[in-house]
Amino acid sequence: MPRPLEKEEKDLKESGHLAERDSEKSNLGPGICGQIEKLVLCKRYNEALELFEIVECEGGDFDVNVDTYDALVGACIALRSIRGVKRVFSHMVNSGVDFDLYMMNRVLLMHVRCRMMIDARQLFEDMPERNLVSWNTIIGGLVDSGDYLDAFSLFLMMWEEDSDDVGSRTFATMVRASAGLELISPGQQLHSCALKMGLSGDVFVSCALIDMYSKCGSIEDAKFVFDMMPEKTTVAWNSVIAGYALHGYSEEALSMYYEMQDSGVKMDHFTYSMIIRVCTRLASLPHAKQAHAGLIRNGFGSDVVASTALVDFYSKWGRIGDARNVFDRMPQKNVISWNALISGYGNHGRGAEAVDLFQQMVRQGMVPNHITFLAVLSACCYSGLSDRGWEIFESMSRDYKVKPRAMHYACMVELLGREGLLDEAFSLLRDSPIKPTINMWAALLTACRVHKNLELGKYAAEKLYGMEPEKLSNYVVLLNIYSSSGKLQEAAEVLRTLRRKGLRMLPACTWIEIKKQQYVFFTGDKSHPQTKEIYDNLEEVKLQISKHGYLPHGNNLLPDVDEREESMLLHHSEKLAISFGLISTPSSTPLQLVQSHRICNDCHNAIKLISTVYQREIVFRDGSRFHHFKDGHCSCGDYW
């Protein structure tokens, strides 16, 4: 039963929300209707609906007036309770209460909010009269549930019925529908209509337009609409930043964020979530720390989404301890938060802890999804926990009713491949209930490369050519397999195929951030002002790691780059970047690098030794995965 309402009642009376209540309706006991209305006013919606249900069950029919129905409808809207909608609505119908236009619109909204779109459409059809609110409610509901085309046809009906009555709200909604369809032309038409009707100054229309243009691929138009806004709201800034982030313009997104900060507009948890994600892509620790501080300072520290983004950031950049800290402080966590941390542990080569967390999450009643399983399976895979991996793989559909998808099979192919069980890996791929996908063949091909199985590797590579003939890296892996086993003729053949197809290898580049500044290095790069120091230091590094057993072995494995680079092994972009990092940061500072291609064997080996000799943690993201080098070991288990 509801707890007493004295405090809220007092507050409401003082604020004028409660007037001469209780006396006027006394048809049922001690003012049940009044109780319900008060509970709704205090946002205690669950209790309001419970009370309604109790009275309904006990008393059979009791008189409820319009205000109480309105309150109950409000409770259903707030709670999105389908059960509530059914009960309240049928009570209303049976009571013969008068559905005026206002009440019809409320009832319509109640159905829309609870995603009962079939009933909502029927209600709308049956309405004896409709106004702008009715149209907006039903059209908005259709857009929210992704029925964009239906939304358009209703909008056109509305337009024909009375085009003068179409307001800015409707326009904003329809612009959102165009964004959902990812069709720019209806969006443009709506834009010009809005201009003609003088609605373009409307904040909501502008924000919807920004979002629509960026989702339809025109960030320039989005920026134009944004620039035209006389007063830029938080959402306007967020929308345009989201646009840049969506298109991979991370630097632009970041600089817009600083402009937003300077403009004095309040930033919210949406802003921070996006920016933290941008920092993840840019591998920028200082900017991420700044955003983390801002998040806390502005009181969004307990936001689930932003905190999850932070967990992801810290774990991707080598700071799994910090990730864990953020996670442990989160007052609420969702599946995504757990997934982020589990895959973090997996990427750090800490599979046992990932499995522990998985079990902990299940014990706490969190329901794992397909991504959870991908995270925990790949954690087992990276750490060589194959028995545990198989157990979990088998339990996922049996105990958790999550059907393994192609990616889960690809992961298990990799798990077998790591152990050198290539035939078993191939059988799993062939016998899986899913048609083998690119990822499954690629996992097999990687296994063949690492374990030097020419025949199967060639077979997998050919499959991949058929599936993605324009993708360079497939050819390069085969090229590597051939050249590393001395099959030079075959290697030359692959190169000829490449030329025939006009596929050019792109130069590899590595970038590193020092003091909030990004530096990019190409192989043999001499454009940096400190070039001499970088190269001299590299010689010194080579000398130091040679004492610990470093031997250049360029003929062993080509990187995914131009063959010219083979002779420039020592000057690979990752080595240059690391050399620069070593001389530009205090000792024991971790280094963070991003590489466009897959790291080559020689660099991988060299970096492992550097991490020991110079006592540096080196976090390296390459084209295929995440490497965390520490004390001479890499989190990938030397398999990538």
Q: Under the phi-then-psi rule, with left for phi > 0, alpha for psi from -120 to 50, and beta for the rest, what region is 92?
A: alpha
- Label the pairing between strands 591-595 and 618-621: parallel
Residue among 248, 308, 304 at smallest CA distance from 278: 248
CA 400, CA 368: separation in Å to the nearest integer?
A: 8
In the complex with DNA, which residue's Cβ is closer, 204 or 535? Answer: 204
For the chain, helix, strand, coil in percent to 5 are: 65, 5, 30
Per-residue x/- track, 310-329, DNA (CB under 7 A): --x---x-------------
Q: Is 242 in the site for DNA (CB under 7 A)?
A: yes
Chain residues 365-384 in contact with DNA, contact rule CB under 7 A? 370-372, 374-375, 378
Map the footprint of DNA across residues 173-212, applying CB under 7 A. Answer: 173, 176, 179, 203-204, 207-208, 211
Per CB under 7 A, the list member of 280, 383, 480, 635 interacting with DNA is 280
Among 127, 183, 246, 498, contact with DNA (rule: CB under 7 A):
246
Q: Is 117 one of the binding residues for DNA (CB under 7 A)?
A: no
Distances (CA, A) of 410 to 396, 405, 444, 628: 15, 9, 8, 23
Instruction: Decide: is 234 part of the binding site for DNA (CB under 7 A).
Output: yes
**Judged by CB under 7 A, does residue 343 bind DNA?**
yes
Pairwise CA distance, residues 20 & 16, whole Å? 10
**Distances 28 to 36, 37, 66, 182, 289 between C-alpha atoms, Å:** 12, 14, 15, 54, 59
Name the amino acid, one letter, at 31: G
Stretch that binds DNA, among 46-54, 103-111, 542-550, 555-563 (CB under 7 A): 103-111
The region of 334-342, 453-461, 514-522, 537-545 touching DNA under the rule CB under 7 A is 334-342
Q: Which is nearer to DNA, 38 or 316 (CB)?
A: 316
CA 470 to chain centre: 27
387-396 as b/e, with b when 16 or more CB fall inside 10 Å? ebbeebbeeb
**Exposed/middle/buried for residue 460 (C-beta within 10 Å: 0-12, 13-18, 19+):** buried
Per CB under 7 A, the segment of 40-48, 131-139, 428-436, 549-557 that binds DNA is: 131-139
**Which residues from 37-96 bind DNA, rule CB under 7 A?**
77
Q: Which residue has the tokens 């062993």?
A: 556
Encode burial over 160-186: b for 16+ CB neighbours within 10 A, e otherwise. eeeeeebbbbbbbbbbbbbbbbebbeb
Residues 557-582 as b or e (16 or more Cβ within 10 Å = b): bbbbbeeebbeebbbbbbbbbbbbbb
Residue 239 as a binder of DNA (CB under 7 A): the answer is yes
Which residue stretch of 129-137, 387-395, 465-473, 538-546 sits at the interface with DNA (rule: CB under 7 A)?
A: 129-137
The alpha carbon dihedral of 599, 600, 601, 603 has a sign of negative
In the complex with DNA, which residue's Cβ is closer, 38 or 269? 269
Q: Which of 500, 495, 463 is nearest to 482 (CA)?
A: 495
337 in contact with DNA (CB under 7 A): yes
Nearer to DNA, 377 or 609 (CB): 377
Q: Which of 236, 253, 396, 440 binds DNA (CB under 7 A)?
A: 236
Which range of residues in 30-38, 298-306, 469-477, 614-622 is near DNA by CB under 7 A?
Answer: 298-306
| Residue 271 C-beta: closest distance to DNA, Å | 6
If one asks whether residue 635 binds DNA (CB under 7 A), the answer comes out as no
Q: Which of 35, 81, 178, 271 binds DNA (CB under 7 A)?
A: 271
**Cβ of residue 461: shortest distance to DNA, in angstroms?**
18
CB of residue 617 to DNA, shortest distance in Å = 19
Q: Looking at 8, 252, 303, 622, which residue binds DNA (CB under 7 A)?
A: 303
Over the window 392 to 431, marking each residue x when it contacts DNA by CB under 7 A and - when it does not, the resulting string is ---------------x------------------------
The widest CA-to-CA distance across the chain, in whole angstroms, is 98
Looking at residue 531, its amino acid is T
Q: Which one, 144 or 419, has the nearer CB to DNA? A: 144
Q: Does 304 interact with DNA (rule: CB under 7 A)? A: yes
Region near DNA per CB under 7 A, out of 182-190, 308-316, 420-428, 475-483? 308-316
- Whole-number Å distance between alpha carbons of 98 and 560: 74
Residue with the two structure tokens 């109950």? 72
Rounded to a whole number of angstroms, the minimum distance from the CB of residue 495 to DNA is 27
Give the 3-state DSSP-derived string for 335-393, with helices as H, strands as E and coil as C. HHHHHHHHHHHHHCCCHHHHHHHHHHHHHCCCCCCHHHHHHHHHHHHHCCCHHHHHHHH
238 near DNA, judged by CB under 7 A: yes
CB 448 within 8 A of CB 436: no
Q: How far is the CB of 569 from DNA (least distance, A)?
A: 29
Region 426-455 residues binding DNA, contact defined as CB under 7 A:
439
Distance from chain centroid for Cα 191: 29
35 lies in the site for DNA, by CB under 7 A: no
Interface residues with DNA (CB under 7 A) are: 77, 105-106, 109, 132-133, 136-137, 140, 143-144, 168-169, 172-173, 176, 179, 203-204, 207-208, 211, 233-236, 238-239, 242, 245-246, 268-274, 277, 280, 300, 303-306, 308-309, 312, 316, 334-337, 339-340, 343, 370-372, 374-375, 378, 407, 439
